A and B are shown apart, each in its own frame.
Chain A
């Protein structure tokens, strides 16, 4: 599993800048990021090289942040690559809360990060189908 930091963003100019500045100041590197938002507020989800430290410094700077475990998998960069994997989850009846992707450098396969309603059950289903689950340490040190 990969530790993801989720940050509450109120809908106000400069909040995202502030988050990235705080992380930069503490030498924390962002590996991947996604934002979900409405007109009122947003949730920023980030993967960083030092999740505990990031959580700590964001809290100290007055942000509301939490740690969430997400699953990282490698998907071959071919048409239908993702579809195949998602079908395993469907078969196992595991809902996806959200997912986002990023590409390793130099670009080979795509990396998918996802949060499932039932992470454990999902991992089991993926492993059974020989999908490669990537450990947190590898993502942090990319």
Chain B
């Protein structure tokens, strides 16, 4: 077994040297073998002769999800399909799916990356890990599976569903690690209680969560219910799958495997690189795969690089938790606003329901004003005018400090706002002056 932590404590210069070398190597490969990138690079006159490595990263073209979709199914391949040993795809809820092929070496590197993150999260070779992610085209199941195996843990490849049986095996196999989405962990805890078993009585000691955002309250609840330490990890099929970043047991942001992935934060509008600490769109370049290589992938996820060193002592820089998606971003009077920020504030008030709607008043192409309509709850209503106004003011103040903007707020009757399911945006556009 390799020492999984050997690259976690390198100095900034040492990391940069590795990145530089790997990027040059990747660039050489992409330039010569990628039918997708070659014409783009030639057009911009970026060649192996004039490309200097990491210092010129910003010269390389971005890759968007749309670009990857257009390459359906195999145009992103930069090796002969003979060398591809696995194919994954992202869910194709909108348009064609994104397809990623992996060479044998890609899989080896990927597994190693996941193994490192699992180790960081406290997993050891003695653990028994039950994977409750769906297997199949989705990278989550297989990614964690091979990573945990590489680490030496015993993997129980349960896949999703059949909660009763999951619980039974967790007890019989004395499972110590649960790999799932955070909401499934909560659901299982509830199911265990319904069977009359306190979830804390299982052998579980750690939970590795991903696949969906995990709020602080969700994590606390999971940790309390199961009596485990819960960490989250991050990754996406378009880049490789899980394995990009993950929490150590300090649980203060996600360590990026910087020797395997180049992470940049850019302004979602201009594409300009932002300094460490500033919030913007995460752009990732995986340095460890050659099958379907990707340069500077625009993840659409909003976060920031945390410049401070983590208390755990690892020098790998951390990324903050994802606070939104660029697709949802609104620019109001020059301020970037994410619906998720608004949701967070509204969540703090039991006097209003989670149902809200954003009314965007546009003048030409600019957003002039933002109005937040939120449903009042019966508990929030008071016959006293003063109390009602104070409620409005308290919500407004929290919105102002969280958004750096003073949106209009309008309290609505319950059940008057349209119910939306899933990720659909609750934004209504209004053109021109009011």
Contacts and interface: CB of A to CB of B under 8 A. Distances in A.
Contacts of A68: 383
Nearest to A5: B383
B5 interface: no
Contacts of B410: 10-11, 40-41
Contacts of A62: 413-416
B388 A41 contact: yes
Interface string A98-118: 100000000000000001000
A115 B388 CA distance: 16
Contact of A10 (B378, B392, B412): B412
A134 interface: no
A8 B385 contact: no
Contacts of B389: 38
B332 interface: no
A70 B272 CA distance: 63
Contacts of B378: 59, 64, 66
Nearest to A11: B410
B413 A43 contact: no
Contacts of B388: 41, 43
B54 interface: no
Nearest to B408: A40
B409 interface: yes
Interface string A33-68: 000101011010100000000000001001111101
B411 interface: yes
A59 B388 CA distance: 19
Indicate the size class of the contact surface on chain A.
Answer: 20 to 34
A97 interface: yes
Nearest to B409: A40
Given A8-B376, A10-B416, A40 B411 contact: yes
Interface in B378-434: 378, 381-386, 388-389, 392, 409-416
A15 B413 CA distance: 10
A114 to B, nearest CB: 13
Interface of A is mostly: strand
A65 B413 CA distance: 10
A117 to B, nearest CB: 9
B385 A36 contact: yes
B413 A10 contact: yes
B345 to A, nearest CB: 17
Interface in B314-355: none
Contacts of A8: 376, 381, 411, 413
Contacts of A98: 385
Interface in B338-378: 376-378
B411 A10 contact: yes
Contacts of B385: 36, 43, 97-98
Interface string A1-37: 0001010101100010000000000000000000010
A108 B409 CA distance: 45
A40 B392 contact: yes
Given A43-B388, A64-B376, A115 B383 contact: yes
A41 B195 CA distance: 47
Nearest to A45: B383
A64 B383 contact: no
Contacts of B413: 8, 10, 15, 62-64
A117 B383 CA distance: 12
Contacts of A4: 383
A66 to B, nearest CB: 6
A4 B382 CA distance: 13
Contacts of A41: 388, 410-411
Contacts of A66: 378, 381-383
Contacts of B415: 62
A18 to B, nearest CB: 10
Nearest to B373: A10
Contacts of B381: 6, 8, 64-66
21 contacts: A8-B411, A10-B413, A10-B416, A11-B410, A40-B392, A40-B410, A41-B388, A41-B410, A41-B411, A43-B383, A43-B385, A43-B388, A45-B383, A59-B378, A62-B415, A62-B416, A66-B382, A68-B383, A97-B384, A97-B385, A98-B385
Interface of A: 4, 6, 8, 10-11, 15, 36, 38, 40-41, 43, 45, 59, 62-66, 68, 97-98, 115
Interface of B: 376-378, 381-386, 388-389, 392, 409-416
Given A4-B383, A8-B381, A10-B412, 5 more contacts: A41-B411, A62-B413, A62-B415, A64-B381, A66-B378
- Please provide the 4 A-B residue pairs with the shortest distance between their CB atoms, ordered closest to farther: A6-B383, A68-B383, A64-B381, A10-B412
